[in-house]
Amino acid sequence: MKAIWKNVVIAESDKTVVVEGNHYFPASSLMLEHFKPSNTKTTCGWKGVASYYNVVVDDSVNADAAWFYSEPKSEASEIKGYVAFWKGVVIS
């Protein structure tokens, strides 16, 4: 699987985990030069607190386009260390 934004591969792995229709990529599969930490946090009732990354390609920033759970609740333990995408990031 590949995560692509602005025609640039920002993550690639054959070991994604699918939860609620979203492919979660291992953090080790991220092309780190395209990720900048965000201060945004949200809470999911069953997964826990999500943190976000801004996705950056050239001079374009896709704010909060990637999210992850540093300490997911036990029901979502399979996504610890994984990152998912939205906001126009194409998964193929």
Domain boundaries, the chain: 2-91
What pLDDT does residue 58 have? Answer: 96
Measured CA to CA, the distance from residue 60 to residue 45 in angstroms comes to 32
Give 1-57 pLDDT, tens digit per residue.
Answer: 999 999 999 999 999 999 999 999 999 999 999 999 999 999 999 999 999 999 999
Angle at 18 between CA 41 and CA 44, to 5 degrees: 30
Question: Which pLDDT belongs to residue 54?
Answer: 98
| Mean pLDDT calculated for residue range 57-62 | 97
Classify each residue of 61-74 as buried b or exposed e, where b means 16 or more C-beta atoms within 10 Å of its C-beta.
ebebbbbbbeebee
Record the pTM: 0.96
The CATH H-level superfamily of 2-91 is: Domain of unknown function (DUF427) (2.170.150.40)
